[in-house]
Amino acid sequence: MFKKVLFVLIFFHISLFADSEIHIEKIKKFVNAKFLEKYPKMHINNLEIKRYSKPPKEFKNYKLTEIYIPNGNLKKEKGSVSAIFISGAKKRKLYYHYKLDATVEVLRTNQYIKKGRTLTDDIVDFVTIKFTNFYQVPITSYFLNRYRARTTLVEGKILTTRHISKLTTIKRGDYITATIKDGGVVASFKAQALKDAHIGDIIKIKRDYNNFFQAKIISSTQAEVIW
């Protein structure tokens, strides 16, 4: 009798352990994918996942249906993940703790950079650092020649999204050619942009002292009048 009870307890423990391991592996794959999506140049050495919520009874009958990690946690080497489990009409949310050991490639300034200067590969170095906690997401090579320094940057600064702003296609005060369509009639005229803009932006333009229009920027020299 004692052996039978012992066997049942061991079998139950193994079943529960195996079931938990399956869930943990799924959560690990999810967290791993989320970090690599956020940081394409990240190299993950190890990722630990541990549950710290008490599982429901008959946990082996529950199916993992949803996993969620807060966006803010993708800036941290340690954090929490929640998972939804369902069994029939029963629904439970459990919490898991993750610990990430990883490195990530970042851009670091190799000289003093003035505000407004276009980011180019000669003023930054590509360096690999240990991933810890980031207040802002580090930028990648994609941003080079597309963005400029939002503020003055000292040498040795790890560049993040807070340090840059997109290069404008048109600056305030620039003169562009605006096109206006009225039925089958198309007319063009010179106008002045009243604010900085990128392609696709809709801004106010001025033809002369009393004529203002809303126009969509389609290139660095042209715009289409909306109204």
Gap between the Cα atoms of 225 and 221, Å rounded:
13
Q: Are 204 and 195 in contact (CB under 8 A)?
A: yes
The domains located in the chain, with CATH, are 2-39+46-96 (no CATH), 103-166 (3.90.1210.10), 175-225 (2.30.30.760)
3 state DSSP class of 24: helix
pLDDT tens digits, one per residue of 106-153: 999 999 999 989 899 999 999 999 999 888 889 988 898 888 899 999
Please tell me the predicted confidence (pLDDT) of residue 15.
41
pLDDT tens digits, one per residue of 16-74: 444 467 889 999 999 999 999 999 999 999 999 999 888 888 888 889 999 999 999 99
The count of other CB atoms within 10 Å of the CB of residue 163 is 23
Average pLDDT value for residue range 165-171: 83
Please tell me the predicted confidence (pLDDT) of residue 183.
78
Please tell me the predicted confidence (pLDDT) of residue 22.
82
Query: What pLDDT band is residue 2 in, cutting at 50, 70 and 90?
Result: very low
Q: Are 116 and 71 in contact (CB under 8 A)?
A: no
- Using a 10 angstrom Cβ sphere, with 0-12 exposed, 13-18 middle and 19 or more buried, the burial of residue 110 is middle
Gap between the Cα atoms of 104 and 101, Å rounded:
10
